[in-house]
């Protein structure tokens, strides 16, 4: 491996992966290809923008020419694909963009990468492909994929394409399935950055339904290290779960955020639930641990430092919470909050 293409590297997890790779692997060239959708942000890559082994190219994984040009120009030998539409609520309202980037885009990227004769292709996937997990149970890699949202269905579709390229064309592929990730530079539509930034401003926190849904929470640096571990040491054709092994209910996470910010519980509003809401995700990740990876951050400390980061970095999120974000807020929450208040 020498020239690594990181698609979607201007997003939340992709940019953490890029910052880590640049810091730890000066011998590798990191080329980011990112469309810069509403969620892509070059401020996430400011820390590496002057590094000699980093390049940024704006482009679309669903465009054959964008992929072919970057693969050839930078003699890419490895692809790590983060590029995706990533928010479940948006996939319920606007599924087309998810199928386009997450499924069709992966088809184009796989095909062009294969034609360019690359070595390894790593697809970043999610625990949501397993679907809802019964209380007490934990998903392992060989469990069936039973996705329930347009987002998770589009990611499961991508995984099947990755499998097909391996079997049909002999491409060296690895898939990672990470759990709910949190940390600095996360677009403030996902639960933690949304609630942290809203609570800082003393605004209502719209908790879906009874708030009893459970997620496994994984700190972003642990997720990025897990992807690097699977990239360097993973067995070809395998899937690797990456979990923080910290399951918590949404209502608990919400109150932890409020306590850290010293904001009142009265900010919580129980609003009408998300359609098709998966109640629980939980995974075991012994397969990745066997490669030497382990989670280094405990949830309480990582949540506290994440809250502090949003308190200290308003320059990053305040400009985002205008324009496109406001339109999204109106569409997703105006009626729900009105129903809760009524
Ligand atoms: P994000 O929404 O913050 O970033 C996605 C990035 O992809 C953005 O920079 C965007 O501009 C780019 N992008 C979107 N469509 C593109 C296209 N067609 N061509 C090129 N670039 C495009 O997402 P994230 O939270 O960083 O997630 C990254 C990956 O990790 C996704 O594949 C997601 O499914 C997966 N994942 C996310 C989580 C999580 O909790 N956030 C958990 C597990 C897996
Ligand atoms: P989210 O961050 O959107 O991640 P995912 O849907 O991929 O798990 O949501 C995490 C949990 O928080 C999920 O159960 C939905 C819930 N949630 C709310 O209750 N209110 C909100 O405004 C958001 C964005 C999420």
SS3 assignment, position 61 = coil
Residue of minimum CA distance from atom 14 in ligand 2:
213
Burial class (CB in 10 A: 0-12, 13-18, 19+), 79: buried
Distance CA 228, CA 293 (A): 9
268 within ligand 2 shell (Cβ under 6 A): no
- What is the per-residue pLDDT for 342? 66
- What is the per-residue pLDDT for 1? 87
H/E stretch holding 303 reads helix 299-312
- What is the per-residue pLDDT for 275? 97
32, 37, 184, best to mutate for ligand 1 pocket (most atoms within 8 Å of CB) = 37
227 within ligand 1 shell (Cβ under 6 A): no
- What is the per-residue pLDDT for 331? 97
Strand partners, 270: 207
71: nearest Cα among 36, 99, 42, 113: 113
Q: Are 250 and 212 in contact (CB under 8 A)?
A: yes
206 within ligand 1 shell (Cβ under 6 A): no
6, 7, 10, 11, best to mutate for ligand 1 pocket (most atoms within 8 Å of CB) = 11
Residues with catalytic roles = 127-128, 151
Q: Tell me the pLDDT tens digit for each residue of 62-73.
A: 999 999 999 999
Q: Tell me the pLDDT tens digit for each residue of 284-306.
A: 999 999 999 999 999 999 999 99
Burial class (CB in 10 A: 0-12, 13-18, 19+), 195: buried
Q: Are 278 and 217 in contact (CB under 8 A)?
A: no
pTM: 0.98
123 within ligand 1 shell (Cβ under 6 A): no
Q: Which atom of ligand 2 is nearest to the CA of 87?
A: 3
Distance CA 188, CA 214 (A): 20
43, 83, 128, 176, best to mutate for ligand 1 pocket (most atoms within 8 Å of CB) = 83
Q: Which atom of ligand 2 is nearest to the CA of 274?
A: 15
Distance 251 CA to ligand 2 centre (A): 11
| Tokens 């579709």 found at | 157
- What is the per-residue pLDDT for 341? 76
Q: Are 114 and 165 in contact (CB under 8 A)?
A: yes
The residues near 337 (Cβ < 8 Å, ≥ 6 apart) are: 204, 206, 269, 271
Closest ligand by atom to 67 CA: 1
Low-confidence ranges of the chain (pLDDT < 70): 342
Kindly state the percentage of the chain with pLDDT values over 70: 100
Distance CA 133, CA 147 (A): 11
- What is the per-residue pLDDT for 25? 97
Residues in the chain, overall count: 342
Distance 10 CA to ligand 2 centre (A): 22
């Amino acid at each position: 491996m020498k020239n690594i293409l990181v698609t979607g590297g201007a997003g939340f997890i992709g940019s953490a992966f890029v910052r880590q790779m640049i810091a730890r692997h000066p011998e590798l060239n990191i080329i980011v290809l990112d469309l810069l959708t509403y969620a892509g942000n070059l401020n996430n890559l400011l820390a590496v923008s002057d590094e000699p082994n980093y390049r940024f190219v704006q482009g679309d994984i669903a465009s054959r020419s964008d992929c072919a040009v970057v693969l050839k120009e930078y003699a890419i030998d490895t692809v790590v694909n983060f590029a995706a539409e990533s928010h479940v609520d948006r996939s319920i309202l606007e599924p087309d963009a998810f199928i386009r980037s997450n499924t069709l885009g992966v088809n184009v990227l796989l095909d062009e990468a294969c034609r360019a004769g690359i070595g390894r292709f790593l697809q970043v996937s999610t625990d949501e492909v397993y679907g809802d997990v019964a209380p007490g149970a934990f998903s392992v890699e060989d469990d069936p994929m039973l996705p329930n949202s347009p987002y998770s269905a589009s990611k499961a579709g991508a995984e099947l394409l990755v499998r097909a390229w391996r079997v049909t064309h002999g491409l060296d592929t690895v898939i990672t399935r990470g759990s709910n990730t949190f940390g600095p530079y996360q677009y403030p539509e996902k639960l933690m950055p949304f609630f942290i930034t809203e609570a800082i401003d003393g605004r209502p926190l719209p908790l879906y339904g009874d708030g009893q849904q459970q997620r496994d929470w994984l700190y972003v640096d642990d997720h990025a290290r897990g992807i690097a571990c699977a990239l360097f040491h993973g067995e070809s054709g395998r899937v690797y779960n990456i979990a923080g092994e910290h399951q918590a209910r949404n209502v608990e996470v919400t109150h932890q955020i409020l306590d850290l910010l010293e904001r009142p519980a009265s900010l919580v509003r129980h609003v009408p639930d998300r359609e098709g809401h998966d109640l629980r995700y939980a995974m075991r990740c012994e397969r990745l641990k066997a490669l030497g990876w382990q989670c280094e951050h405990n949830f309480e400390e990582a949540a506290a430092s994440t809250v502090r980061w949003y308190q200290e970095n308003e320059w990053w999120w305040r400009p985002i919470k205008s324009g496109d974000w406001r339109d999204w807020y109106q569409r997703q929450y105006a009626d729900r909050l009105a129903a809760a208040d009524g």
